[in-house]
Structure 1
Amino acid sequence: MGYKIVFFDIDGTLLDEDKKIPEDTRLAVAQLKANGIEPVIATGRAPYFFEPLARELGIDSYVSLNGGYVVYRGKELYHRHIPVPVLERLVGLAHQSGHPLVYQGKSSYHTNSVEHAAVLAAIDSLKVFYPGGQSEFWRDESIYQVFLHCRHGEEQPYLAELPELRFIRWHEDAMDVLPLTGSKAEGIQVMLDTLGIPREESIAFGDGLNDKEMLELVGLGIAMGNSHQELLPYADYVTARADEGGIAAGLRYAGCLA
């Protein structure tokens, strides 16, 4: 199969557990580009979180915010945000439940509880800068994704009362909140359609619960060796861990590297 494009998750995929790019990953991405195959970032993160990483790897195309904001070589292709009436209901329920929220726009992000321990713990795990404190940010800007900070099991009322939304856990204190049909696969399909690339000629690497749909969509879905166990059934191939040469090994398996 002549693959033309490869989508890479960031955390646990391009980055190891210390949030660093393994040298063999750096070399593999460079060789992929030299071979004429397009590398694309596909992440739950917003662009302001991964711009240094993208520059370091020489990648200028991305599917960000779990498919909500898509850019190809600097050109915006797709926007998908959460409607304000739905956000209003989410904010009201979170207030009743005492759960802080973080609102993500395409250029900045803010929280309604800057000092909350759950917010700080989750953001610290990403090793990124803290959100601003504009609690009404969601009223003034398009919001592509929200972090709901709650413990396991505490999300049940939200699932019942907000069927328009998806809730995907990524930390013991935090969940991604996005539209029900939102996923990385949604944004990837937009990019494939724009470029005229059949999905059979695409590859995706991932390790988390928000990677299920994209591994199913592409021609070759590769799970990292450090993947969440629930992701593995969605993969066509399981490679090594991020810090054990997993990206290079997966690309060799696909025939993209010598």
Structure 2
Amino acid sequence: MISPRIAFVDVDGTLLQTGSGIAESSIAAVRTARGNGHLVYLSTGRASVEIYPEIRDIGFDGTISSGGGFAEIGDELVIKRTMPAEAVERMIGFYEESGYDFYLQSFDELYPSPGVRDRFAEYYAADRARKAEAGSEPESVTDADDDHPALKAFADVRPYRHTGIAKSVFLAGDLRAFDRVSEALGADFHVITGTIPHMGRGSGEVTLNGVNKGSTILQLLDRLGLDAASALGIGDSSNDIEMLQVCGVGIAMGNATDAVKAHADEVTTSVQDDGVWNAFRRHGLI
């Protein structure tokens, strides 16, 4: 009998390709692996509120969200790694002084600056036009109309919350934005380059130092009584690196950046070439 394994699977660029729907083979891989007695957890930079029904309905045993800020077993929130209020205030102050768009992630809310919705709307409109030109239908997960849940969430501009915030995402046309954020905040915060490809090289993510997918996975595995050696981690972006490092097998997607592949134990195929399915099959989950 095969011993149960646990897999941590990223969302954007892993389960689904940016600008496309969820790969059918990814859905089949997750459901088949769980049917075979293995555990499959989401591990995403998205806030919980950004994990839309099309994703959740695949069926998972739990979720790591906000790049390690939160972890759930089933629907129970078991780990919260949020910033002190003064750290959030400092971060917001720097973004506003620099003129950068940004949004804050709590467990169940997003707090966007006024320009965030327009940035995403512009991308979705361009993506819809590209698909129309190619003769393909837009997928519901990234559909480019005003009913898209991301556009609704980012339109809700209101006073920022200073407690319960685990992560921020900054969006800037300035290609030096990452360097400037790192210089200003890097001593106390974990600053990584953007993991939202369509937002360009001027974007990035900020959590507290030590807060990332990998360190939260270790806390979660300890709670579950499981050894990291039994875990698989699958991802494609800079916020997946620590996950690939702590899991017994770190797997980079074929569409991952070279930097991410350098930290992986192996590389699977790309999203639309059945990357998750092939990785699960290789390691006996399906």
Query: What TM-score results when the alignment is normalised by the length of structure 1?
Result: 0.91
Unaligned runs of 5+ in 2: 128-140, 143-148
1:38 Cα deviation (Å)?
0.5
State the distance in 2 between where 1:42 and 1:91 align.
26
* Match 2:175 to one of 128, 146, 152: 152
Q: Does 1:186 align with 2:215?
A: yes
* Structure 1 equivalent of residue 264 of structure 2: 235
Of the structure 1 ranges 112-121 and 216-225, higher mean CA displacement relative to structure 2 is found in 112-121
Deviations 1:216-240 (A, max 9, x none): 1001111110001110111111011
Question: Are 1:204 and 1:215, in contact at CA under 8 Å, matched by a contact in 2?
Answer: yes
Following superposition, the deviation at residue 118 of structure 1 comes to 4.2
Residue of structure 1 equivalent to 2:160? 137
1:68-114 CA-partner distances (Å, limit 9, x unpaired) = 01000111110011221122222222222111221111111122224
Counterpart for residue 13 of structure 1: 14
Cα deviation per residue 1:14-35 (whole Å; 9 max; x = unaligned)? Answer: 1123341211111111110111
More divergent stretch after superposition (205-214 vs 97-106): 97-106
Alpha-carbon displacement from aligned partner over 1:199-219 (angstroms, at most 9, x marks no partner)? 000101101111000001001
TM-score, structure 2 length as denominator?
A: 0.82
Partner of 1:7: helix, strand, or coil? strand
- C-alpha distance in 1, partners of 2:116/2:219? 38
1:13–1:206 contact (8 Å) kept in structure 2: yes
Q: Aligned pair in 2 of structure 1 residues 86, 122: CA closer, same or farther (>3 Å)?
A: farther
Aligned residue number for residue 71 of structure 2: 70
Count of residue correspondences:
255
Query: C-alpha distance in 2, partners of 1:157/1:61?
Result: 35
Query: In percent, how many aligned pairs have the same letter?
Result: 25
Larger deviation, residues 123-132 vs 38-47: 123-132
Counting only pairs closer than 5 Å after superposition, residues 1-258 of structure 1 correspond to structure 2 as: 2=3, 4-114=5-115, 117-118=118-119, 120-121=121-122, 127=142, 128-130=149-151, 131=154, 132-134=156-158, 136-139=159-162, 141-150=163-172, 151-162=174-185, 163-168=187-192, 169-170=194-195, 171-172=199-200, 173-257=202-286
* Maintained 8 Å contact 1:204/1:221: yes
Specify whether residues 116 and 109 from structure 1 end up closer, same or farther in structure 2 by C-alpha distance, changes over 3 A only.
closer
Contact 1:41 1:63 (8 Å CA) reproduced:
yes
Segments of 5+ residues of structure 1 without an aligned counterpart are none
- Which AA in structure 1 matches 2:169? F
Three-state SS of the structure 2 residue aligned to 1:85 is helix
- Residue type matched to 1:160 in 2? E
Paired residues of 2:39 and 2:61 also in contact (CA < 8 A): no
Q: Confirm or deny: 8 A CA contact 1:102 1:147 kept in the other structure.
A: yes
Cα RMSD for the two superposed structures: 2.2
C-alpha distance after superposition, 1:164-195 (max 9, x if no partner): 11222223142111112111012211210011
Report if the CA contact (8 A) 2:253-2:267 is conserved.
Answer: yes
Please, which moves more after superposition, 152-161 or 22-31?
152-161
Distance in 1 between the 2:53 and 2:61 partners?
11
- Runs of 4+ with >6 A deviation: 122-126
Distance of aligned partners of 1:201 and 1:103 in 2 relative to their CA distance in 1, 3 Å threshold: same
SS across alignment from 1:182 = coil
